[in-house]
Structure 1
Amino acid sequence: MTERPLDLDAVRTFVHIAELGSFTRTAETMMTTQAAVSLKLKRLEERLGCRLIERTPRHVELSAQGATFLQHARELLEAHDRAFAAFAAARQRLTIGISDHVAGPELPELIARMNLQDSQLLIEIRIGSSSDLLQAFDRRELDAVIARLHAGRSDGEVIAEEKIGWFAAPNWQPRADEPLPLATMPPPCGVRNMACEHLDTAGVAWMEVFVGGGVAAVSAAVMAGLGIAAMARRMLPSDAVEVGQKLGLPDLPRLPILLHARDRNDRSRAALAALSAAFRNVARD
């Protein structure tokens, strides 16, 4: 049978007592109470089957067994601290910006895919507009950005393409002789600009009835019946209805999803490859 391991906190408490020669100073150092210090020492002594500290009214000193154990205790704690420091150093940080128009409800699954690839990689995800994230990337505040094609950018690796459609709530009906009501993200949202340009080219009158600070807000406005929105299908609840053909609206193109990333080491490259593969999967029609 494997013996119960030593409590490292109790071992550290014993070393403090031995070095400080005082239960009071040990309690202050460890930000605890004298009673807690005494209890930890008692449990360690019971575990070892011997007395480690001799207590007298005036001072505290090591027993013969305590003096023998002290060096081993120090070595144990040093080994623990070295292992912990090496582990902490190994947790490389990877900071990724993901466009709100791309992240979608599958984000937990995507993060889990990255964690499965490398559980020791410290992943930081920031959600925002493509424009803001790409500016942060250019300032070297982000290691990578996943966003839709952005005007004026020629960099980035296409990792997926996704169809954009016109969506409304199940019971939504247009009002005769009124411009098409749109729920949109604020400028300079690329999807908004693309959708409005297609409407203008097709001669379809439109007006914005809701501007949301995120895709979730726009989706909520659509499902509340305020109007329609140009979005990827996966960004909306399953009962949202594609109304483009019914209303004679212009077809919207498939928009690429791009990965912008600077030079990567093997660990971050593998994690981003796993994330890219996950996006290819969720962006399928």
Structure 2
Amino acid sequence: MFKTILVPLDGSPMSEQALTLAVRLAQSHSADVHLVHVHSPYTTTPITIEGLPVIDEELRSLAATHELTYLRQLAASLPISDHEPIIARLEGPIAFALNRYCYDIGADLVVLTTHGRNGFTQLWIGSVAESLLRSLHIPLLMLRPSPEMPEPTPFRHILVPLDGSALAEQILPHAVTLADQEGAELTLVRVIEGDPNTGPGGVTYRPHENTLTAQRETAQVYLDRLTQDLLARGHPAHCRVVAAEHPARAILATATDVGADLIALATRGRSGLSRAILGSVADKVLRGGNLPVLALRPSEMG
């Protein structure tokens, strides 16, 4: 269960779209919700509150007053009965401040609306979300912004891409928790190499049919085992093996095909500020799709 949910807010209606989902999960899990704003002295669009001046009589900025009033007003408007929302105004680099706060409160889920544009070659996740994915080992539930406040509709079908590794499987408990709460079914998918590929020197090769058959059978046995385990524990689950040249595109196409409304996956990669933490497949799924994504940086310790 998710017990402590953090929602980063920047004062924009777009960031507030994450509140609907966060509130629904908090109600279901009897979880604490933390509404957090990180003050940025460089923002060109500071939060304004109707009826409050921007500066005081000594020409000092009232940014802190505005930001705290904004958080208090949001907290008071949320229909959470079990626990009153907790508000926090932080200072410092945004991603660093959020990261530190997550550890301080023991957050086990971050729900946020991402900034960005569609397309494999364009930015999907904002810099804050990507920085959190690099540094946290708790799931981030990232939502696409929409022109209007989204309806509070539960997720009904969650697609979980797996690659056969224990690292990738670390997303499963979180996906199951969300599926149980939302009344959703799970589809596990594994993509195997199935189309012509370009090797060294630009030489195009096609995997041998026997190799493809062996890969498919191995992947099917793997997914069947996981699926049967989920079914035995009462979780509605299915599985698919897909042969494709481009795994990320195959994952997105499978999500459309099965009617998924959420993709849950573990990112892969290496730690360190100078290295990309997102694996190439996860990165393309995050940047190329329109669905909400539950993403987790797996821990080497499991």
TM-score range, shorter chain: under 0.3
TM-score of the pair, normalised by structure 2: 0.23
Larger Cα-atom Rg: 1
